[in-house]
Chains A and B, each alone.
Chain A
Amino acid sequence: LKQHLAILLWATDPDAPHLCATPFFHASAAAAMDIEVEVFFTSKSIRLLEKGVADHVYVGEGKERSVAGYMREAHGHGAKFFACSQAMAAHGVREESLIPEVAGHAGAAAFMARALDESWATLSY
């Protein structure tokens, strides 16, 4: 059983809310199994790390739970969130606007290091 999972968010776009819960639900499932989970936010997914954005993104019509709720659950299970600096620059996301759950900055090279390490599983959304 692999003990590490790196998740790349690339098409998880707050403008496509129906795509935004599953990656965090999967991150929660893995982290709840005591698997080390890292989530790399890149492209327009970076916007989910801006304060207030994910709080207003809902997957279904019922608006029972925001995407921020799914993100907090994954983080609560131990998943670490990393912001891509290039994506931040491309989409105008400022450092001071990041949610406190962000563990640090990591981009393409960091994710590739995980992808090339056979002890890590990788998923892309």
Chain B
Amino acid sequence: MIVLRGCAFPDDRLYHAQHNVWVQRGVDGLVTLGATSFGVALAREFMGFVPKPAGTVVEADRAVGVVELWKTMVSVRTPVAGTIVSGNGAAMKDPTLINRDPYGAGWLVKLEVPDWEQARTALLEGGAVGPAFEAAMDLERFDGPEDA
């Protein structure tokens, strides 16, 4: 696990710094997407989450849903193309789940990704994660979560 300025990045998944999301392929072949702890720290408090409906085909870098923050709306963008299989109903009912457990119960959507090997080339893993998110944090002038 990498920890950058108070934000954890578990080793068991892949990342995309621009969209501030993690991606993990499960044993069932489905790809789960969620917000990073850095994204959560920037957002502060999630007040709503609405995914696009199951069955929606999305291209890479397009929205799979939207999160409502305090007086602002933010797109949730996927770095990999695929078909939305499900949104996290628990996070829709209680968006604070995303704050409390972004790498677990606060996941956002599951996707069926037809060409995983090609799709994963757009993602960061291993030693590439730290420098990319350090740069993203510099860009946001982020020193750490407010409650850290």
Chain A interfacial positions (CB closer than 8 Å to B): 1, 25, 28-29, 32-34, 64-65, 70, 73, 77
Instruction: For A1, give its contact among B56, B62, B66 (CB under 8 Å).
Output: B56
Q: Is the interface of B mostly helix, strand, loop or mixed?
A: strand
Chain B interfacial positions (CB closer than 8 Å to A): 50, 52-53, 56, 62-63, 65-66, 68, 71-75
Q: Is the CB of A32 within 8 A of B73?
A: yes
Chain A residues in 8 Å Cβ range of B68: 29
Q: How far is the CA of A29 from the CA of B63 in the complex (A)?
A: 11
Q: How far is the CB of B104 from chain A (nearest CB, A)?
A: 25
Most chain-B CB neighbours within 10 Å: which of A25, A28, A32, A65?
Answer: A32
Q: Is the CB of A77 within 8 A of B71?
A: no
Q: How far is the CA of A64 from the CA of B70 in the complex (A)?
A: 11
Instruction: For B73, give its contact among A34, A64, A65, A77 (CB under 8 Å).
Output: A77
Q: How far is the CB of A32 from chain B (nearest CB, A)?
A: 4
Q: Is the CB of A34 within 8 A of B63?
A: yes
Q: Is the CB of B65 within 8 A of A33?
A: yes
Known: A33-B63, A33-B65. A77 touches B53 (CB 8 A): no
Q: How far is the CB of B7 from chain A (nearest CB, A)?
A: 23
Q: Is the CB of B66 within 8 A of A32?
A: yes
Chain B residues in 8 Å Cβ range of A29: 50, 66, 68, 73
Name the residue of chain A whose CB is nearest to the CB of B53: A1
Known: A1-B52, A1-B53, A1-B56. A33 touches B72 (CB 8 A): no
Q: Is the CB of B52 within 8 A of A73?
A: no
Q: Is the CB of B73 within 8 A of A73?
A: yes
Name the residue of chain A whose CB is nearest to the CB of B61: A34
Q: How far is the CB of A2 from chain B (nearest CB, A)?
A: 11
Known: A1-B56, A34-B75, A70-B71. 17 other contacts (CB 8 A): A1-B53, A25-B71, A28-B73, A29-B66, A29-B68, A29-B73, A32-B63, A32-B73, A32-B75, A33-B50, A33-B52, A33-B63, A33-B65, A33-B75, A34-B62, A34-B63, A77-B73
